[in-house]
């Protein structure tokens, strides 16, 4: 037994949950060994080039890759954390001995506590010829594109409209890949409406109640046959359609990576709302085995923001057990309560319902303090959630009540219609003109009295849903300021094609101003002059020499 190393805490997985767990525990003096299979830390964050939703406290408005850089830097500065990259946890045994393969050596550890933050793997789909080269998982597409700079295809079919499917579709467009269409088996888009709206504005069709029947091609994907589904998910006859594409990207959900948990005989349960087989655990993230904690997607599929908070809860609980002096206990206890509160708030909106239902199934109460605050959708967004295009009624709710308001000068319009936890627009406004009425889960509204139309919010909104309009620029023209994330960037005085919310070309416009500084952080804010009649329609541009949309 003399070659078993003692350890205080081993954290498995260097993604958002593992990073925050390691930091939370190490901040209270716990010695942490952080094990990551790959050669770098950051997990899936390193591929996320988009801005994150959620609360500013958990880095909302910041791009995933930058959140990763920030957390990894803090990890590297912390003397209590030993980092083992390119290292794999091979086994967790009944006597809590953990074996790790690092530097071609299998080392045995006996830790006081373990936090498993192993994340998730992608689900696969059964359809004809699903092994043809050119059938990808969305994670692979992101790795190829965003990590290695390799284009996966020229024209792709996206299967699945959850946030991952929508975000990867958008990133494919940014990389210059055509997205033939996005299909979704459910009758409703799975991800956030703002992500879907970005794609609709690019002219990408989103087909709900559709599935893939087969991949077509001899040696590689040359197309796909899709069909329509009825309300009980059965194929509707004679709705087959051939989609020409050279790749098929599957984004049909994630399932927790529970291999190590199963090795350790942790009790699991099948909870479809949380991605499949998940470990049973308490509100402190502790599993059925004492001192074995979980955090992040392995405990149930959610967003990176909740993974970060779950990591904190797990890490703090380990610290509480190991560092027993009274002073620390009080401080840690307070931090745990704060983190739980934060997590509960994130899940309190309509988009958190699925997760809440899943958590109830494993005996947790996801709404201890916010039970009465649970909000339901403020207005009917069924059309928006089918197409990505807001209905006229939806728009009306977010526009000034009186047309006169447009006469005062430029004002911001928030085209955000769905309730999900997000607040960068509110936090970014220097004039305090955007409010969510006290809850991060509410829809933000612009106070047109206070708004000066400065345009700061346009690049801050992670959903690219903020616009500034100045109706009376001249007698016959208006100005519209919009976010633009494609190359090449437009230049002043350039003539660009102007598109509406459906991605249809409506007119030409002249670029009057391009803001592309540090504040905008790669979300270029472009002001265009357009014929006045289109000031409520113009929401996207096509720049000559740029990627072909759609």
Partner 1 sequence: MDENKVIICRCEDVTLAEIRNLIKQGFTTVEEIKRLVRSGMGPCQGKTCGLLIAREIAEITNTSIEKIEIQNMRPPYGGVTFEEVIAGDTIEE
| Closer by beta carbon to partner 1, 80 or else 130 | 130
| Tokens standing for residue 226 | 């899709």
Q: Cβ distance 367 to 374 under 8 Å?
A: yes
Interface region with partner 1, contact rule CB under 8 A, candidates 124-132, 319-327, 397-405, 429-437: 124-132
d(CA 537, CA 531): 11
| Closer by beta carbon to partner 1, 108 or else 427 | 108
Of 277, 379, 383, 445, the one binding partner 1 by CB under 8 A: 277
Minimum Å gap between C-beta 118 and partner 1 is 9
Asked if 60 touches partner 1 (CB under 8 A), the answer is: no
Q: Scanning residues 428 to 457, which ones bind partner 1 (CB under 8 A)?
A: none
Minimum Å gap between C-beta 263 and partner 1 is 5
d(CA 493, CA 514): 10
* Residue reference for tokens 């467009």: 173
Count, residues near partner 1 per rule CB under 8 A? 39
Of 78, 85, 130, 452, the one binding partner 1 by CB under 8 A: 130
Of 31, 78, 99, 439, the one binding partner 1 by CB under 8 A: 99
Of 65, 83, 90, 514, the one binding partner 1 by CB under 8 A: 90
Residue 467 to residues 320, 412, 448, 485, 540, Cα–Cα distance (Å)? 47, 6, 13, 14, 10
| Closer by beta carbon to partner 1, 99 or else 375 | 99
Residue 338 to residues 12, 94, 312, 316, Cα–Cα distance (Å)? 24, 34, 10, 11
| Closer by beta carbon to partner 1, 94 or else 474 | 94
Interface region with partner 1, contact rule CB under 8 A, candidates 182-190, 254-262, 464-472, 498-506: 254-262
3-class DSSP state for residue 21? helix
Q: Cβ distance 347 to 265 under 8 Å?
A: no
Minimum Å gap between C-beta 538 and partner 1 is 45
Residue 333 to residues 19, 337, 453, 540, Cα–Cα distance (Å)? 20, 6, 44, 49
Of 1, 79, 126, 404, the one binding partner 1 by CB under 8 A: 126
Of 40, 73, 86, 124, the one binding partner 1 by CB under 8 A: 124
DSSP line for 383-451: THHHHS---HHHHHHHS-SSGGGGGGS-EEEE---S--SB-HHHHH-TT--EE-TT-TTSPPEE-TTT-
Tell me the Cα Rg of the chain.
Answer: 24
| Closer by beta carbon to partner 1, 118 or else 418 | 118
Of 1, 39, 77, 105, the one binding partner 1 by CB under 8 A: 105
Q: Cβ distance 172 to 146 under 8 Å?
A: no
d(CA 246, CA 65): 29
| Chain contacts with partner 1 (rule: CB under 8 A) | 2-3, 5, 88-93, 99, 101, 104-108, 121, 123-124, 126-131, 213-214, 255, 257-260, 262-263, 269-270, 272, 276-277
């Amino acid at each position: 037994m003399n070659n078993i190393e003692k350890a205080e805490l081993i954290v498995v997985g260097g993604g958002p949950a593992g990073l925050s767990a390691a930091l939370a525990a190490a901040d209270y003096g716990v010695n942490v060994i952080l094990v990551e299979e790959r050669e770098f830390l950051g997990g899936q964050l390193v591929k996320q080039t988009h801005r994150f939703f959620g609360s500013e406290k958990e880095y909302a408005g910041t791009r995933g890759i930058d959140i990763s850089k920030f957390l990894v830097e803090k990890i590297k500065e912390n003397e209590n954390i030993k980092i083992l990259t390119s290292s794999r946890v091979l086994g967790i045994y009944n006597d809590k001995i953990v074996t790790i393969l690092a530097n071609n050596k299998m080392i045995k550890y006996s830790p006081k506590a373990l936090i498993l933050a192993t994340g998730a793997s992608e689900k696969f789909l059964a359809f004809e010829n699903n092994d043809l080269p050119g059938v990808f998982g969305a994670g692979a597409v992101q790795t190829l594109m965003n990590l290695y700079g390799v284009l996966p295809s020229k024209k792709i079919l996206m299967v699945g409209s959850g946030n991952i499917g929508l975000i990867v579709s958008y990133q494919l467009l940014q990389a210059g890949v055509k997205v033939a269409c996005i299909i979704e088996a459910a009758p409703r888009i799975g991800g956030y409406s703002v992500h879907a709206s970005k794609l609709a504005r690019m002219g990408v069709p989103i087909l709900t109640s559709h599935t893939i029947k087969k991949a077509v091609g001899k040696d590689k994907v040359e197309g796909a046959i899709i069909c329509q589904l009825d309300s009980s998910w059965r194929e509707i006859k004679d709705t087959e359609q051939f989609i020409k594409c050279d790749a098929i990207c599957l984004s049909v959900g994630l399932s927790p990576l529970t291999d190590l948990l199963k090795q350790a005989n942790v009790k699991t349960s099948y909870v479809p709302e949380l991605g499949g087989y998940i470990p049973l655990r308490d509100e402190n993230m502790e599993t059925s085995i004492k001192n074995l904690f979980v955090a992040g997607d392995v405990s149930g599929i959610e967003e990176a923001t909740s993974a970060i908070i779950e990591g904190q809860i797990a890490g703090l609980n380990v610290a509480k057990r190991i560092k027993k002096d009274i002073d620390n206990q009080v401080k840690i206890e307070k931090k745990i309560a704060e983190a739980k509160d934060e997590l509960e708030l994130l899940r309190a909106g309509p988009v958190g319902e699925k997760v809440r239902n899943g958590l109830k199934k494993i005996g947790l109460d996801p709404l201890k303090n916010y039970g009465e605050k649970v909000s339901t959708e403020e207005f009917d967004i069924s059309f928006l959630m089918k197409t990505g295009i807001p209905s006229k009624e939806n728009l009306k709710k977010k526009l000034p009540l009186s047309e006169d308001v447009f006469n005062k000068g430029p004002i911001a319009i928030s085209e955000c219609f769905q309730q999900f936890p997000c607040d960068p627009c509110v936090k970014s406004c220097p004039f305090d003109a955007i409010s969510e009425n006290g809850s991060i889960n509410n829809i933000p509204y612009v106070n047109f009295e206070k708004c000066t139309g400065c345009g700061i919010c346009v690049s801050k909104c992670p959903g690219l849903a903020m616009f500034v309009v100045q109706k009376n620029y001249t007698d016959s023209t208006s100005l519209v300021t919009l976010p633009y994330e494609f190359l090449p960037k437009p230049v002043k005085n350039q003539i660009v094609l102007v598109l509406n919310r459906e991605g249809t070309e409506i007119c030409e416009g002249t670029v009057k101003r391009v803001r592309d500084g540090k504040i905008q952080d790669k979300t270029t804010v472009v002001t265009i002059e357009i014929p006045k009649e289109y000031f409520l329609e113009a929401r996207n541009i096509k720049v000559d020499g740029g990627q072909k949309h759609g």
